[in-house]
Amino acid sequence: MTDKKNGREYLGYVLEKLKERITEISLSLVEGQKEIEGMHEYYWENYTEMDQYGYENYDNQQALFRQISANEEQLILKQRFRRMADSPFFGRVDFIYEGEDEPEIFYIGIGNFAEKAGHIPLVYDWRAPVSGLFYDYDKGPASYEAPMGEIHGEVASKWQYKIRNGKMIYEFESDVKIDDEILKAELGSNGEVQLKNIIRTIQKEQNAIIRNTKDRIMVIQGAAGSGKTSVALHRIAYLLYHDRQNLKSSNILILSPNGVFSDYISHILPELGEENIKEMSFDLFAYKQLRDTVSDCEDRYDEIERRIRFPQKASLAEEKQSMEFINLMERYLVELEDRLMNFKDVEYKGFVKKESEIIELFYFKFQDFPLLSRMDAVADYFIDEVETLRDRDLADDEKDLIREKFMKLYVTGDLYVIYSQFLKENGYKGLPRVSYEKRKLKYEDVYPVLYLKYRLQSQQGRSNIKHLVVDEMQDYSRLQYEILQRIFSCRMTILGDRAQTMDDKQQDVLKFLPKIFGRDIHKIIMNKSYRNTIEIASYANQLAGIEDMELFERHGAPVEEKIFADMSHAAEEIAETLKLGEEEYETAAVVLRTEKEAEHMWLLLKEILGEKGFDIKERLSYLDRNSTSFKKGLTVTTFYLAKGLEFDQVFAVFPQKDRSPLVRQARYIAATRALHELHMYEVEK
Ligand SMILES: Nc1ncnc2c1ncn2[C@@H]1O[C@H](COP(=O)(O)OP(=O)(O)OP(=O)(O)O)[C@@H](O)[C@H]1O
């Protein structure tokens, strides 16, 4: 056995054991593969002689599935151990259990590793109960939550390691100062094109959120760069680890703002040894749900663009997603109970359901069904009766015919028509009367129609989703939360930042969320910002009038403010000031107000940088709403697509004269994207 107290020696020992385990697994994988091939061969040679009832065939298939899934598990394990062979651990806690004299030593890494399955780990997963000590305590009395209860004792010492390619780069006995230095080094490094995992340096306040399993709905209001997205993803990894029996990655859904953002965060869970999870934007979800009602829907970005270009034109989006509007819809829904109906007798091959009987079934027996699904229930009731009287089952086409007859008792079942009528009766302009192909919903109408759909038609519950993550919570309206509450009855992690609202005024969803989700909500505020240098964060805070943010002590260049006559002058300056290259930054962005301005800037930069010999093909990209990823190099985009992302160097280019509240928000969002260097440019023309 090795000296566990000596990090370097222990590293050598663990690496050796890892190598052995990897070899063992490789061998067992080869065996497993042979086994599978053997089963296939056996099947093809013998299938004609298998028992006629298929029992043997069934048994063979089951054995095959078991072997395949065992192989898959081994493969995943091997991948994890391979990753661990690069850096088996990053931390260590020496813990003296209450009543003991000598400390027990725990090394902490990206996953558990034991010499053999079921043995005591040589390295503990960062999510293991005992690893909580590493994040929550310095030297001194400490405790952690274990399955059998709270364990007390004392942290005798804590260590930090950096290991790369199996080589020890550094080891420190950690204290607050060193911890800060290590975090500073992590934050000071250049940006990747994807969000980094933070397991080496999770902060105490972040750890409390990650390891929280008791609250059903957690709502996190976190300042820009406070680590909300990182924390939410680590929380998912933590929950998956601790509730393997009930929670699978397929049970989790992230509502994220767009495709680029999805890509930006997509590798974290696989890196932490978990499978990737489903992500979707709410707009895409809505669009899919409404496909049988309209052929197209605007998305949120259309709405933002319109607001910027025509600020004087009042948008109804806010009004149509307000509580008052929901109340109007609810009142209309009550009226529809009568107005939507045109009852009369229904006859099928001599069997008659009288109008009065239908009314009775409709308003009493099936009153709990949503209005537009209720007649289906009445039709099924009638089908049952006919089948009983005839003493035979009806064929599917006969049943369809009957249902059709009952559906005719609705004046209309078309949500588009119903909603349009509602608008007109409440003093709004109705929707254009066009054929399905030409029906395109404006953004302001998308969610009201979706709401009506949920209120009027039975929906299949999304019971397979057991945890919903809502990122950028400030960008969802009251109405959208009402809909979410109807679709998902599961646990939720909802996170965002009211200061980054993409609207004229900041939206604080914390005010109304308890009214929608009840008292189960646990609110947490994260006020410490990690992303930006002090110079950048202070500058951005001034833009948004924020005073209560705590800043991580990391300094950089002052923010540069400049005014240019036009876009091409700004582009020239960007090309001059850009610091991309070896020994310099990895990522930079030019962030603009609208799609049109962004495209214009991109074309200008293409020309200017092209002339300078910059590799524009590989290192300059234009990010629009259909993009699904961004590359290292220079990215040109709008503020609303840059949201959630970060870049080493940021140029924010905005029209000087646009001082509208929405564009003030846009400037703030752009400024907070910068990790190390920020240039705020204003353009006169
Ligand atoms: N404990 C930590 N250790 C190392 N880096 C951290 C830590 N917490 C946050 N960071 C870093 O800070 C940056 C911001 O994190 P993240 O994007 O998760 O924040 P956010 O609150 O979602 O930001 P925003 O709302 O502004 O998009 C990232 O680079 C992240 O890696």
472 lines ligand 1 (CB under 6 A): no
pLDDT at residue 1 is higher than 70: no
Residue-averaged pLDDT of the chain: 90
pLDDT higher for 51 or 429? 429
For 611-638, the DSSP string reads: HTT--HHHHEEE--TT-----SEEEEEE
pLDDT at residue 242 is higher than 70: yes
Protein residue whose Cα sits closest to atom 8 of ligand 1: 227
Using an 8 Å Cβ cutoff, are 479 and 325 in contact?
A: yes
* Ligand 1 center to 531 CA (angstroms): 6
For the chain, what is the radius of gyration of the CA atoms? 30
Annotated binding residue at 581? Answer: no
Using an 8 Å Cβ cutoff, are 277 and 253 in contact?
A: yes
Length of the chain, please?
685
pLDDT at residue 294 is higher than 70: yes
Protein residue whose Cα sits closest to atom 19 of ligand 1: 227
Annotated binding residue at 191? Answer: no
**Confidence (pLDDT) at 619:** 92
pTM: 0.89
Which of 115-119, 250-254, 280-284, 566-570 has the lowest average pLDDT? Answer: 115-119
Protein residue whose Cα sits closest to atom 30 of ligand 1: 227
Which of the four pLDDT bands, split at 50, 70 and 90, describes residue 51?
Answer: low
pLDDT at residue 555 is higher than 90: yes
* Ligand 1 center to 246 CA (angstroms): 29
**Ligand 1 atom closest to the CA of 231, numbered from 1:** 18
Among residues 630, 3, 592, 7, the alpha carbon closest in space to that of 265 is found at 630
* Ligand 1 center to 226 CA (angstroms): 5
How many Å apart are CA 226 and CA 232, to the nearest integer?
Answer: 12
Domains of the chain with bracketed CATH:
5-176 (no CATH), 186-286+459-527 (3.40.50.300), 341-406 (no CATH), 551-681 (3.40.50.300)
**Confidence (pLDDT) at 54:** 66
Using an 8 Å Cβ cutoff, are 648 and 619 in contact?
A: no
**Confidence (pLDDT) at 667:** 97
How many Å apart are CA 382 and CA 570, to the nearest integer?
Answer: 73
**Ligand 1 atom closest to the CA of 200, numbered from 1:** 3
**Ligand 1 atom closest to the CA of 186, numbered from 1:** 4
Pocket test residue of 162, 230, 268 for ligand 1, highest count of atoms within 8 A of CB:
230
**Confidence (pLDDT) at 324:** 92
Cα 644 versus chain centre, distance: 11
191 lines ligand 1 (CB under 6 A): no
**Ligand 1 atom closest to the CA of 472, numbered from 1:** 25
**Confidence (pLDDT) at 52:** 63
Annotated binding residue at 222? Answer: yes
* Ligand 1 center to 302 CA (angstroms): 28
Mean pLDDT of 118-128: 93
232 lines ligand 1 (CB under 6 A): no
Over the stretch 149-187, which tens digit does the pLDDT of each residue have?
Answer: 999 999 999 999 999 999 999 898 987 777 788 888 888
Over the stretch 53-95, which tens digit does the pLDDT of each residue have?
Answer: 666 677 777 777 877 777 888 888 888 899 999 999 999 999 9
Over the stretch 566-613, which tens digit does the pLDDT of each residue have?
Answer: 999 999 999 999 998 777 899 999 999 999 999 999 999 999 999 998
375 lines ligand 1 (CB under 6 A): no
The H-assigned helical ranges of 272-370 are 282-289, 300-309, 323-339, 355-360
pLDDT at residue 195 is higher than 80: yes
pLDDT at residue 48 is higher than 90: no
How many Å apart are CA 86 and CA 83, to the nearest integer?
Answer: 5
Among residues 454, 461, 679, the alpha carbon closest in space to that of 575 is found at 679
541 lines ligand 1 (CB under 6 A): no
Over the stretch 458-472, which tens digit does the pLDDT of each residue have?
Answer: 877 667 899 999 999
* Ligand 1 center to 87 CA (angstroms): 22
**Confidence (pLDDT) at 47:** 67
**Confidence (pLDDT) at 685:** 81
475 lines ligand 1 (CB under 6 A): no
In three-state secondary structure terms, 344 is coil
Protein residue whose Cα sits closest to atom 1 of ligand 1: 202
**Sheet hosting strand 560-564, strand order edge to edge:** 560-564, 674-683, 647-655, 587-592, 633-638, 620-622
Over the stretch 14-31, which tens digit does the pLDDT of each residue have?
Answer: 999 999 999 998 888 878
Give helix 323-339 / helix 415-425 axis angle, nearest 10°. Answer: 110
Pocket test residue of 182, 194, 198 for ligand 1, highest count of atoms within 8 A of CB:
198
230 lines ligand 1 (CB under 6 A): yes
Pocket test residue of 206, 531, 669 for ligand 1, highest count of atoms within 8 A of CB:
531
pLDDT at residue 141 is higher than 90: yes
**Confidence (pLDDT) at 418:** 96
637 lines ligand 1 (CB under 6 A): no
Beta strand 296-297 pairing with 278-280: unpaired
Protein residue whose Cα sits closest to atom 13 of ligand 1: 531
**Ligand 1 atom closest to the CA of 206, numbered from 1:** 1
Q: 421: which 2 tokens? A: 């009528």
Which of the four pLDDT bands, split at 50, 70 and 90, describes residue 519?
Answer: confident
**Confidence (pLDDT) at 117:** 81
Which of the four pLDDT bands, split at 50, 70 and 90, describes residue 433?
Answer: very high
Contacts of 415 (CB under 8 A, 6+ apart): 290, 293, 449, 452, 453, 456
Annotated binding residue at 227? Answer: yes
pLDDT at residue 636 is higher than 70: yes
